[in-house]
Every structure is written in structure tokens, then in C-alpha cells.
Structure 1
Amino acid sequence: MLKDEKAVVVFSGGQDSTTCLVWALKTFKEVATVTFDYGQRHRDEIECAKEIADELGVSFKVLDLQLISQLSANALTRDDIEIEAGKDGELPSTFVEGRNHLFLSFAAIYAKQIGARHVVTGVCETDFSGYPDCRDSFIKSLNVTLNLAMDHQFVIHTPLMWLDKKKTWQLADELGVLDFVRNKTLTCYEGVRGEGCGKCPACQLRKNGLDLYLEEKGEELS
């Protein structure tokens, strides 16, 4: 029974990872969070994650992975690179090479040290912006690799893998945290909490999903 087990949530303080954190709290006996400092240009992301973790009463750990910013030139770690969607089949400028691979690997190491075998992440193949490390095939492959690498029976959980943003908002609502996620998380590429800047790809995806969900519920859009 999962209710008797412990999990680590890869946590950024955004819509997806916060929804996954609440899902984990209802699924496992004990939950810990791990956040990564990878040189992201909006440092408020880490503070936002800490505030949410504190409010929900879970442990919060930050691991230093700034080496990523030294290796990968992208819009999330460089102020001089414009945030742009992918064009002509190319990846968006926000893609951080190897980020999820490293995040999940280090999360698994941390999980083993604290006696957990479950790792939860908010990656999604439905709304993944073309990121190759958000695909289900990657997660399944990495899960096998981690088990072999550390001789430990990890289970990587991806509650949002097959949900579009509308259904992700629906899940947050079913978990009783729609307003919490809507107002307190940070998804915006410009570092604006809550509804965000409204212009970047992350904000547009988030708002479109919320509008569709509220419309389906028959609620007034804002």
C-alpha cells in the first residue's frame, strides 16, 4: 500500500509540481520535497517553492546544480536569450539540456538516503512543448536505469503525464487546491507569481487551460 510508503517530490513551486505535491500528500504516508538551484534567472522560484512547502508542512531541500547553467545556453538561465517558442520543429529557447535527467537522478539519490523509493515529478507528454525529457518513454527508461545504477527499486510517478492543462486544473480542483495553485504558484517565465505576465508561453498555456476548465464548469472567466 502506497499509504505506508515515503515519496520525494521534485518541486519547483509551479502549477504542475504543486499539484503533484498535493497528490503525493494524499497518496503516501510521508512526503519530502527537493528543489534545484540550476542558475535559473528568476531566483524567486526557489523562495516560492520554500513558502509552499512550509505552508503544506513538508520538508524542503535545495540541491546545487548550477553546473547546468555553465553547460547549457537557454532562456531560463541566460538573460540575453529571448524566450521563444520552437519554430520549424526546433525546441523552444526555454529547453534546458539534461535538466529532468539530472533532477530525477539527484532526486533518486536523495530519496534513497532518506529511505524513500518513490519519486514524483510533474512532467507531461501532452503539454510538453516538445521537450524530449518530458516524454513517458524517457521516464520509463530512466526508471530502469536508476534501479540498475543504485540497486534500488525506485518508482517514478508522473500523475500529469497524460493530462492537458485543462485536466491538470481539474485535478487541482478535485484535490481541493484550485485557488491555492492559481494564486500561490510560479509558472511564469518572467518570474511573476499567480496569473503571471500573461504573455510568455508558460503563462499562455496555463491561462488557456484554466479558461477551458472554468468554462466547462460554467464559472465566470477572469
Structure 2
Amino acid sequence: MRFSTLTGAALMLALAFPAGAQETRKGIRGVVATLDGQTLGVRGKDGTVTAVTLAPDWTVRVLVPIGVEAIHPGSFIGTAQMPQADGSGRSLEVHVFPPGVKSGEGERDWDSEPGSRMTNGTVEGEVTSDAKGRELTLAFPSGSRRITIPPDVPIVEFGPGQRAQIKPGVAVFVVAQSAGGGWKASSVSIGQDGAAPPM
């Protein structure tokens, strides 16, 4: 099943850190430490457990690997990327949205690596290949960015998951919003077959 089956609300939260809102939202990465009712505990690399309050209707998204050939002119994609000296970006990961869905369109700071950016836009013009990987241009309302996707970069799309998949030891990624000194979220992303989400 492809992630076009997800609700519009879940899609709008998919990797959408609105410009200017970085101080109230963040990506929480790690493995599930606990799940007690609607409270999810995520253990980060440093061993710290972050508590996230899940919405009553919280959903699970499974990140399913797909081939780079799924990206073509007109595709709407998002990519965490590292800015290059020539003004282009080098992808760290790519996620492909279904036709008609444009979430988080534009560019903003990202937190997967120091200095990284998230760019969401429509593939414009020709997609080319060379020794460095696939090259394309992403267009968005405020401009465009030339992007290189190295051959070893993970490319995924979102598929629907089940709450039963969220259990201790499972690698997760959560886009959380600050709330009363804590964090809240409406969805939890996991990788396929236990893989860590690439974001």
C-alpha cells in the first residue's frame, strides 16, 4: 500500500517544519523506550529519554524504500540536504509525496546534521544522471534549488502502519511540537522491517 492512503492531516505534518517555527517544533529520533497509553518515551543516541504526548487519533507511518526512478519531472519531493559551495544541495535522504500532495513547500533549517536544510518542491525540467548520482532542480514559490542525489542516499515514501508496531526497541522519528514544557505529536514514523527512519 502506498502512502496516498494516509489522511491529509498526517501528510501535512510529514517533515513540515514551517519557517520561523523551529523554536517550537523539532525532530525526535531514537528508539522506543516506553509506550504508556498516549505517552511515548523515545531514547536518543545519548541515552536521554524524551517524553512525547500523542494525540488521541495518532497514526503510524512506515517509510518504504523505493527506487530513484520514481522521481521524475512533476514529482513533489522533500529532501534533507547539505548546502554546497556552488549553491546546490547534496541530498542526505529523499521522501516522495503522492500526486496532489504538497507539504512543507519551500526551504528551512533542518536538524539531521549541523548546517543541513530541508527542501520540499516540485521536480522541474530534466532529471539527469552522472557519476555523482541523479541531478534535478526543485522549484518552490520563493525560488529553486539544484539537488544532487548520491547513489547511496535512501529514498522512501510513506505507507500506513499500525499502532501495534510501536514497541520498545523500534527505531522511530517524530515531528513534535512544544506544549506546556513538553512535546506533543500526532504521528510516529518507523522504517520498513525495523530499519531506522532516514530523516
Greater share of helix: 1
Tell me the TM-score normalized by structure 1. 0.26
TM-score, length of structure 2 as denominator length: 0.28
- Tell me which protein shows more strand as a share of its residues: 2
Highest relative contact order (Cα 8 Å, sep 6+), 1 or 2?
A: 2
